[in-house]
Amino acid sequence: MKTIIDKPTNINKVILTKLVDLIDEGDQVDRKFIERGLSKADLIAIYLHDDKIITAATLKNPLPSYRDSVFISAGVESQRKLFIKELGYVVTHPEYRGQNLCQK
């Protein structure tokens, strides 16, 4: 197993494409938003087995309009300027779920 923690610009494009595919399989976020979000992320952490992504998470820089809408919806609008980063795109390959691998 191998762990990569790096800026998106330093991660192999093939691995990034596999990550986009894995996140997209969850059908929670439009693919174009995944691609844009990953490209603007501060860091991406990926846990690999051979060339398969087992689990991953991203330290994101959400758009201010998105961030604001989340805090407003949660009823804590006054807190929105305190949190400029977001832990997102936390995903585990279906074959490896339930093993607490993302905690690593």
The reply to whether 31 falls in a domain is yes
Q: What are the pLDDT digits (tens) for 24-47? A: 999 888 999 999 999 999 999 999
The reply to whether 38 falls in a domain is yes
The reply to whether 52 falls in a domain is yes
Band (23; pLDDT cuts 50, 70, 90): very high
Determine how many CB atoms are found less than 10 A away from the CB of residue 18: 18
- The mean of the pLDDT values for the chain is 92
Q: What residues contact 102, with CB distance under 8 A and at least 6 apart?
A: 47, 55, 57, 90, 92
Number of domains in the chain: 1
Q: For tokens 């991406």, what's the residue?
A: 44
Q: Show the domain range for 50.
A: 2-58+85-94
pLDDT at 81: 83
